[in-house]
Structures are given as C-alpha cells and as structure tokens.
Structure 1
Amino acid sequence: MFTTYLVVTLLTAAATSSAAVANLIGHDYPKSQADRLHIPHSWIRPLGTLLATATVGLLTGLAIPPLGTLTAACLVLYFLGALWAHIRVHDRQLGPWSACFGLSLATLLLSIAHQAS
C-alpha cells in the first residue's frame, strides 16, 4: 500500500510542479488556457504559486501524513474550481484537467487509506 501511495503522490507532485513552473515562468500554455476560460492573466502567477505550494505540501506530507492529506484535499478542491471554469465557458477539452484531478483524487484516497492502516 505504501509503495502505491508513494508513487501516486510523487506523480501528483510532478504534475503540480510542472504546472506551477509553466504558470510562474509565463509559458504560453497557461496564457492560452486563461484566454480560453476567460480568466485574467493576472491570476496566472497566483495560481502557479498555489500549485507550487501544493507540491511542497505533498512532498512534506510524505513525512507528515496529515499535511499530505490536507494538501491533496485542497488540490481536489482546486481542480473542482478549474472544472467550474471550464463548464462556465462551455469548454469540453478536459483531458489535462482529468489527469490532474484524477491524480489529486487518487492521492487523497491513498493518503487516507495509508493513514488508516
């Protein structure tokens, strides 16, 4: 169980860190997403900061499990907010969202199961 939890957590941390870096360096992908979802460009860096913080929280959660669980729960909420942004503008391109949400949800569920064992 721990191995699965570790692998999924590390995959989620890799996904959130790459998204954070893209947002923080001003890559074109987050800008095009913001334009498509009618989100101001001024939100890109704060959202990147949230993702970077989540990466640190997930990795720290390997040593302090309740922090990892809380971080994973916050990521699930973050990506539910992202889903709302897609739905609001009738955007159905949810591939990247699905991957990130799925990883976050799996991390949350595995974190809970790991702590219960």
Structure 2
Amino acid sequence: MTLVPDPWWLSAGLAAVLFLDAIASIRPPTFIRVCLDGVNFPRDWWWSLIVIKLAAAGGLIAGLWMPGIGLATNAAVILYFLAASYAHIRARFLKHEFWVNCLGMLVLALLALVFGFLV
C-alpha cells in the first residue's frame, strides 16, 4: 500500500468527475433532480452535496502531493456513495439513476482506491 496514488491520474480523474458533478449540481439537470427527489433528499439540503463533492475533489488533488490525504479522501468518497446507495435502496428508488449514477461513481471510486493505492 502506498500513501500517494500511483498512478496519479486515477485520483485526478476521480477528482475531475466529482468536480464536474458538483458544478452540474449547482443548477441540477433532470437526471440529478430525479435522483435526489427519488430518495426524498430535501431540496433545502442539496447545496450540501455540492460542498461535499468540491471538498472531495480538493482532497484528492491535495493527496497527489501530501501523503495520506488522497487515500483518506478516496475512502470517504467510497463511504459517501455507499450511503447514497443505501438511501436509494431504502427509498426503493432503483431506477437507472441508481445503477448508472450512484453505483457507477461507487465503482469508479473503488477502482481509484484499489489501483491507485492498494495494487
């Protein structure tokens, strides 16, 4: 196991996807609105997801130079999407938004962790 991602581009790619997701969430397109409404996430709290995703993107980028930061952030991103998956299952909202958006991001974060830090 390493404390700095190798290859670096896995963490950078995950950071880029999270950053773009956060920017898109400022004025959420239909698929994001449907997803958040489907799990009954209060609209008054949608802003918090933007902050979380921007902080995660920043942590992943900082982790390219600061040992341990990227690893901790990557683990937190996995926990975030596990919680999102639980919310989908609990709400019984298992449409394509769950399979593509939520589980897709979870798989991306897992791949970045495994191949960037563990292998």
TM-score scaled to structure 2, two decimals?
Answer: 0.83
Q: Is the 8 A contact 2:5 2:116 kept in 1?
A: no
SS at match of 2:19: helix
Larger RCO (alpha carbons 8 Å, 6+ apart): 2
Aligned to 2:48: 46
Aligned to 1:56: 58
Aligned to 2:115: 110
Q: What displacement does 1:3 show?
A: 8.8
Q: Is the 8 A contact 1:12 1:103 kept in 2?
A: yes
Is residue 81 from structure 1 mapped to residue 86 from structure 2 by the alignment? no
- For 2:89, the aligned partner's letter is I
- For 1:21, the aligned partner's letter is I
Larger helix fraction of residues = 1
Q: What is the RMSD computed on CA atoms of the aligned residues?
A: 2.0
Q: Is the 8 A contact 1:65 1:111 kept in 2?
A: no
Q: Is the 8 A contact 2:71 2:117 kept in 1?
A: yes
Q: Is the 8 A contact 1:31 1:41 kept in 2?
A: no
TM-score scaled to structure 1, two decimals?
Answer: 0.84
CA distance in 2, matches of 1:75, 1:40: 21
Unmatched 5+ stretches in structure 1: none
- For 1:72, the aligned partner's letter is N
Unmatched 5+ stretches in structure 2: none
SS at match of 1:65: coil
CA distance in 1, matches of 2:50, 2:57: 11
Q: Is the 8 A contact 1:72 1:104 kept in 2?
A: yes
Most deviating of 87-96 and 41-50: 87-96
**Count of paired positions:** 112
Aligned to 1:32: 34
